[in-house]
Amino acid sequence: MVHGNANWSHGNWFCGFWVGLLLASYPHTRDEKFLALARERMLLVE
């Protein structure tokens, strides 16, 4: 599927899946890098 802009689409379940994995990794590891990565990717979601 091709999107008309540079942002991810809510129709792309894979987008939310990876953000969710990153968010779930943070409390498990307490590693701030997972939280930072999840926040960065959430900004890309339209």
pLDDT of residue 46: 60
Contact of 19 with 42, CB cutoff 8 Å: yes
pLDDT tens by residue, 1-33: 455 556 555 556 777 788 899 999 999 999 999
Contact of 23 with 45, CB cutoff 8 Å: no
Contact of 28 with 19, CB cutoff 8 Å: no
Work out the pLDDT band at 43, boundaries 50, 70, 90.
confident
DSSP class of 5: S
Buried-exposed string 5-20: b where 16+ CB fall within 10 A, e elsewhere: eeebeeeeeebeeebe
